[in-house]
Chains A and B, each alone.
Chain A
């Protein structure tokens, strides 16, 4: 395939839809937590869904299509994370105010000129079974926003607050299983206008900037699935194709490239496609019509007072761009490390740790930006199993000199394997208590007494093999040197 596509001449048009989960205490319309910690479900509810006649009595083509597939939906129930509201057995509770305020902050950060004075929650028809209701609740919180990019104005057409759907577990024959602990977790969706004149890499950069603005609230979830990107892609004389579920931002430019190549080759039909892990896409269903929304009559309209909006404006969080400068000046992080931690999904955790723990900022930032990344990539360590407060413990140990920085990877590996254990358990189990200089001296002396003529390098090597991870190697070097000199 020709790699040198001129995106301007194929008239690439793209619209971005970024979905970011919010890290609120409760779900959007019930009092379930949003943590999604539970691993095993204890039961399942089996449901069928049928075609509902959408606006003006005409059945939605996409709904018909799904109906013909005659599927049975299995909804996994997770204790403490799924309630009757989540399984559509109880009406929704009031809109979560914490989530609403975060969404409004996002709207303000993205310069929305319009914030509706009265919010109307809508039901968006969902026909793939991913919600037990058959719809997803969603509400517009901002319109007519923009961000700047390379001197151009990128229009943000709309910001909505909505509930997440269930996560698909498997599809076997006509049986589809969903995990329901994710349902109802608040999401903000940010839609750009149609972006023209940008290439795939630039589109990815724009998505990145939008993402970083949303993360400025400090109330966003991190990790796989916390940000999901959908986009509309079309080329000259082509049809609009919707690509759903780009799980990693770094995949976005590739998806655009592949999709443009595909559309040039196949002459695209208007349809919804799913993004694959490798950046290619697969057919999901025909594109839904526009009549897929109607009012959620179980939730009264909600008036946003001018006063409340003014208060939110006053307490707007610092955009991350400003944060970058502060990290460099206050924490003395190098430019590249500061940028890395800004982009890291652990940014807010890093900040929280720096607020509470007096550990070396460079070591803390480095742990999140490179040590954890390496452990995940090379050793497949399941970092998500580690509870957040363990990281506080870890850096408290470091600040109190109860561990040395070299032992951090081993401790993290241990915590991921035994999430119920604390850092002190890890230190004990892995025998990582730092050694004092005199303890190291004793070890070196006992070797010297057996091999009095040993060379410096050899002695250093043997001592290090016995003390690695328990004392700084520079210090070992000093100790061994001082003994050999005698």
Chain B
């Protein structure tokens, strides 16, 4: 929105965004299309698109005069009209949209980002998809992935089940990358006896650029959904900074490990299930321990208790902070090293132990689960006195190898099923969906 002064002047002159106008100011005259004011910058500057395509900002001042020179078309996104043809010899893949960069399209006049989500839009944007499979497309919601909540996961799970029951050969979920690994882990716990691949895919670069990773990622995801034998919840993203292959990561063992690189998602403590070459579209298996496709019907278990906290411990953490967590029904502490938080076994005068505060939580039936800040590696509470003390007060997670995010979601899931501390402990440390492994390969 422009400043009030400009908006009312535009209104009085019946000038709308998209109209061609003449702006004169002192000796200078500018001719161009009036652009919408983006939220950043100076709201008292008119943004004009010049004939050569450049935008400039012209400060609106006392001597500025505006004149309509040509009524324009309103600037908005024109969706592509294209119908996806159906080929009975091809597998069918259902693509569900949850928002994010990958599902977005740019309106090139303003640079504004629009969601695009009919099968026609998808085929128009990514014609290669139609060569791989019959595409079904559906938009579930259009939000930024940092705004996702456990309620959204439940909607996604239900829609996935609906699609599977309709007989599709695989499902692709287009998702924002910020919290993509949370959703992947949540679906891994919720969907039981999956008969087909369920693949989450995102993009790290916007779709407007010819070099966006959206096409390689989406094509690889659709290839995996249509052709692979792996009936698991997976994440399909760039394996490195080049466009030569993508990895299929296990949904409970993957994490975003970089703010911006194309290969931000990496498997933690395990190998990816497979790599998919691009543009060759070949699937190369890297593991054999996966669920194979079958005709079983999928079951859904979406009981979650979301009243769970995830915190980092840090040098100087205060016991009061831990105490304040008693409003939650479960706590995950991302510990240092092998999973530690300060317990002060040497009775140092500066150090404050949080052990008693943790014990009080556990004693009030709030399970405390640990996870590694290091992301990689397995927790072990037997090596140092600190760990032994933690184990003694009942901290859960010894010898587990989950990421903090997977530990959080598992705790939500487990607490959705039981509040009994012993049951919680047993379910947490027992593998449900590949999140707890017994051994780590030398990779």
Instruction: Point out residues on A near B: beta carbons under 8 Å.
Output: 45-57, 63, 84, 87-91, 113-114, 116-120, 122-125, 127, 132-135, 138-140, 143-144, 158, 160, 290-297, 300-303
Contact = CB atoms under 8 A, between A and B. Distances in A.
B271 interface: no
Contacts of A140: 50, 54, 56
B56 A120 contact: yes
A89 B53 contact: no
14 contacts: A47-B211, A52-B210, A53-B124, A55-B108, A56-B78, A63-B210, A116-B56, A118-B47, A120-B57, A134-B210, A291-B53, A293-B54, A294-B53, A297-B111
B57 A117 contact: yes
A160 B54 contact: yes
Nearest to A90: B260
Contacts of B241: 45, 87, 89
Contacts of B79: 57
Contacts of A125: 210
B312 interface: no
Contacts of A84: 260-261
A291 B108 contact: yes
Given A89-B261, A120-B57, A294-B109, A57 B80 contact: yes
Contacts of A297: 38, 111, 113
A113 B30 CA distance: 11
Interface in B242-270: 242-244, 259-262
A400 to B, nearest CB: 51
Given A90-B261, A120-B55, 13 more contacts: A46-B242, A48-B216, A53-B105, A118-B41, A120-B57, A123-B111, A123-B208, A140-B54, A290-B51, A292-B53, A294-B208, A301-B38, A301-B45
A52 B54 contact: no
Nearest to B244: A46
A192 B57 CA distance: 22
A138 B27 CA distance: 25
B144 interface: no
Nearest to B109: A55
Nearest to B125: A53
B209 interface: yes
A38 B51 CA distance: 40
B110 interface: yes
A57 B53 contact: no
A301 B54 contact: no
A437 to B, nearest CB: 66
Given A57-B80, A116-B57, A89 B242 contact: no
User: Which 6 A-B residue pairs are closest in the complex by CB-CB distance?
Assistant: A118-B57, A134-B210, A301-B41, A293-B53, A295-B111, A117-B59
A133 B111 contact: no
B28 interface: yes
A205 B242 CA distance: 45
B215 interface: yes
Contacts of A160: 54
Given A55-B108, A55-B109, A303 B52 contact: no
B241 to A, nearest CB: 5
Nearest to B215: A50
B205 interface: yes
B176 to A, nearest CB: 16
B58 interface: yes
A420 B212 CA distance: 42
Contacts of B110: 294-295
Interface string B29-64: 010000000101110010100111111111100000
A48 B57 contact: no
A397 B242 CA distance: 50
Contacts of A91: 260
A46 B243 contact: yes
A229 B80 CA distance: 39
B341 to A, nearest CB: 33
Contacts of A87: 241
Interface string B192-235: 00000000000001011111100110000000000000000000
A303 B42 CA distance: 7
B279 interface: yes
A379 to B, nearest CB: 42
A302 B59 CA distance: 12
B211 A134 contact: yes
Which residue, A52, A113, A133, has most C-beta atoms of chain B within 10 A? A52
Given A48-B278, A295-B110, A133 B53 contact: no
Contact of B210 (A57, A127, A293): A127
Nearest to A133: B209
B38 A295 contact: yes
Contacts of B215: 48, 50
B293 to A, nearest CB: 30
A296 B261 contact: no
B139 to A, nearest CB: 18
A136 to B, nearest CB: 11
A45 B213 CA distance: 13
B209 A135 contact: yes
B106 interface: yes
A138 B54 CA distance: 9
B113 to A, nearest CB: 8
Nearest to A48: B243
A161 to B, nearest CB: 12
B108 A48 contact: no
A57 B78 CA distance: 7
Contacts of A291: 53, 108
Nearest to B260: A90
B45 A52 contact: no
Nearest to A127: B210
Contacts of A47: 211, 242-243
Contact of B80 (A49, A53, A290, A293): A53
A314 to B, nearest CB: 20
Given A88-B209, A292-B53, A294-B208, A303 B45 contact: yes
From A48, A120, A132, residue with most partner B Cβ within 10 Å: A120
